[in-house]
Amino acid sequence: MLHVTTTRFRISAWVLLPTFFLAACTSGPGAEPVHANAAAPSRTTATAAQQEKKLGAEARSALEATATGSMVASGLERVSDGLHTDPGLSEGTSYRLTVVCAGTGTAVIEFAPAGAAARKQFSCDGTPVLERFTAKHAQHVDVNGGRGAAGMIAWRIERV
């Protein structure tokens, strides 16, 4: 009878041993399942996306309130990305660039080639900034956020 009990114990040990090791590897202080921490970054990302959506809506609303001419180009950009466009404007034609930056910090409007309009710094407080210019050959428009600036930039170029 002793022999039968020993055999049963050996079989039970081989069946239960992997379960013991599996439990030992996944339990204990600080051992959390991977999926428990995976939700935290997505909440942060969702909050950032909601903030971008809110600031984008504010910027677009302020931009739409200033529309008067024939739109040529428009868009919505993150301040961190900036606006960099070659809108294919007709040389010698007058245009108006309207930019609204909603968020924090400042941004700068620059034209290339230089001379189409002056470089202009403005606040990201949601106030529309209008800049009239006459297009030159291969006109390029840049709007870049200053150091620490954050938010959204809505912009539109209209023929005047």
Is the pTM higher than 0.75? The answer reads: no
How many domains does the chain divide into? Answer: 1
Is 19 part of a structural domain of the chain?
A: no
Q: 109-155: per-residue pLDDT in tens?
A: 999 887 677 789 999 999 999 999 999 888 899 999 999 999 999 99
Say which CATH number the domain at 58 has.
2.60.120
DSSP the chain: -HHHHHHHHHHHHHHHHHHHHHHHHH-STT---HHHHHHHHHHHHHHHHHHHHHHHHHHHHHHHTT--SEEEEEEEEETTT-EEE---PPTT-EEEEEEEEEEEEEEEEEEESTTSS--EEEEEES--EEEEEE--TT-EEEEEE-TT-EEEEEEEEEE-
Give yes or no for residue 23 having a pLDDT over 60.
Answer: no
Query: How confident is the prediction for the chain on average, in pLDDT?
Result: 81
Is 10 part of a structural domain of the chain?
A: no
Is 23 part of a structural domain of the chain?
A: no
Confidence of residue 10 (pLDDT cuts 50, 70, 90): low
Is 36 part of a structural domain of the chain?
A: no
Instruction: Give me the domain span that covers residue 72.
Output: 44-159
Is 95 part of a structural domain of the chain?
A: yes
pLDDT at 48: 87
